Structure 1
Amino acid sequence: MPRRQRIVPSCLPAHVADNNAYSYGVLDGDTLHVSGMVAFAPDGSYVGEGNITAQATQVFDNLQAVVVEAGGTLEDVVSTTTYLASADYAGAVGEVRKKYFTGDVPPTSTVVVAPMAREQFMVEVSAIARTAE
């Protein structure tokens, strides 16, 4: 297996990553770097437009899909960075996050409030995970 491997789960729109020259995940040895996950459906449409809970759920589903495609689980996530379009979304995103990170050692978390790349996006989450080689 090559040292660096591109991770593109089938539930994410490959054409979006291809058109913008990025990978949803890059597995480098046993370290997985996950791009900022947004509320994309497999066809590239937006899930939960205007609904922070629906978007956060889709974001964490997409994050989980990348980690699983790389051979890991959410227990392997060691660090996250969450970008919010508004500080008002922090509580709702935190409630959704708790449903996904249920292990004894939750990942670190940094939260940044900033404009999103597309106005439809309310939340974006990137991560680093350690997976078994």
Structure 2
Amino acid sequence: MSIEHLNPAGLHKNPVFSQVVVTRGDIRTIYIGGQNAITPSGESVGKDDIGRQAEQIFANLEIALASAGAQLEHVIKWTVYVLQGQPPQPAFEVFQRIWGKRPNPPLITLLFVAGLAHPDFLMEIEAIAVLPDADG
């Protein structure tokens, strides 16, 4: 299996995201539905604090990935939904800190939305991860 991250000439290169990801070979693809700032006990955290919500969202994403045998570095695409009027920068700062020095950041699509599933939610993230197929 191979995963190739491309940042072709003619497109902006940014250390936070890749422009194109190509996968080849025997792979397993994991799709993670939108994660939000809910703790395992069902408590909503970070009301009015998108950075705090991002912390909980990434904790939830790591749990979801682990349940399928994956880790953050297997994510090839994030889709980030941010409530209109919220600044995405604090959430991206959390992402940059958590991602750290890992190479090949994933693709990222950011959408501003009129509302999310709960009025306290300021953002939600879904993910696609790819890793070698254990059965392949």
What TM-score, normalized by structure 1, do the two folds share?
0.74
Determine the structure 1 residue equivalent to 2:112: 113
Post-superposition CA distance 1:19-69 (Å, at most 9, x none): xxxxxxxxxx71100001000111111011121111010001101111112
Q: What does 1:39-118 correspond to in 2, within 5 Å?
A: 39-102=37-100, 103-114=102-113, 115-118=115-118
SS state at 1:88 partner? coil
Determine the structure 1 residue equivalent to 2:7: none
Q: Give the Cα–Cα distance (whole angstroms) in 2 for the partners of residues 31 and 38 of structure 1.
A: 21
SS state at 2:88 partner? helix
Which structure has greater helix proportion? 1
SS state at 1:105 partner? coil
Q: Give the Cα–Cα distance (whole angstroms) in 1 for the partners of residues 52 and 86 of structure 2.
A: 15
Q: What does 1:21-32 correspond to in 2, within 5 Å?
A: 30-32=28-30
User: How far is the alpha carbon of 1:89 from its aligned partner?
Assistant: 2.2
Determine the structure 1 residue equivalent to 2:127: 127
Determine the structure 1 residue equivalent to 2:15: none
Structure 1: runs of 5 or more not aligned: 1-28
Q: CA RMSD in A?
A: 1.3
Q: Report the count of equivalent residues.
A: 105
Segments ≥4 residues shifted beyond 6 Å = none
Structure 2: runs of 5 or more not aligned: 1-26
Which structure has greater strand proportion? 2
SS state at 1:46 partner? coil
Report % sequence identity.
30
Q: Give the Cα–Cα distance (whole angstroms) in 2 for the partners of residues 85 and 98 of structure 1.
A: 20
Q: Which has the larger radius of gyration?
A: 2
What TM-score, normalized by structure 2, do the two folds share?
0.72
Contact 1:74/1:100, CA 8 A, preserved across alignment: no
Q: Give the Cα–Cα distance (whole angstroms) in 2 for the partners of residues 123 and 79 of structure 1.
A: 16
User: How far is the alpha carbon of 1:131 from its aligned partner?
Assistant: 2.5
